[in-house]
Amino acid sequence: MLATEADVLEAAERWRREGRGVALATVLETWGSAPRPVGSHLVVDAEGNFLGSVSGGCVEGAVVSEAAEVIASGAPRTLEFGVADETAWRVGLSCGGRIRVYVEAVE
């Protein structure tokens, strides 16, 4: 079962109250095909636990890795991913498109 957006935001708040380092990733924009809509969230803690989804395939793994760096540095970042239709299946996406994701530390 996919977590709801409310579940993800509640987890971010709860994990932070527990003293964990936490980052929140949010889909800002999509072009072409994208598995998750604008506004979708993924919460990640400093141990690599995560809940929610901002994409799929290798993009999700890259966002989790970037979130760890955001937690460590405290500096937010905007990530962009794109793939052509002909190579989409090789990286775990259903078809081509682009996605922009904002990752920020939760204080």
- Encode pLDDT of 61-76 as tens digits: 999 999 999 999 999 9
Which pLDDT score is estimated for 67?
97
Question: Where are any strands of DSSP class E within 1-107?
Answer: 22-32, 41-45, 50-52, 77-83, 97-105
pTM: 0.86
Q: Please, which pLDDT band fits residue 94 given cuts at 50, 70 and 90?
A: low
Burial 66-82 (b: 16+ CB within 10 A, else e): bbbebbeeeeeeebebe
User: What does the pLDDT read at residue 22?
Assistant: 98
Residues 19-58: tens digit of each pLDDT: 999 999 999 998 877 788 899 999 999 999 999 999 877 7
Q: What is the mean pLDDT of the chain?
A: 87
For residue 92, the model assigns a pLDDT of 55
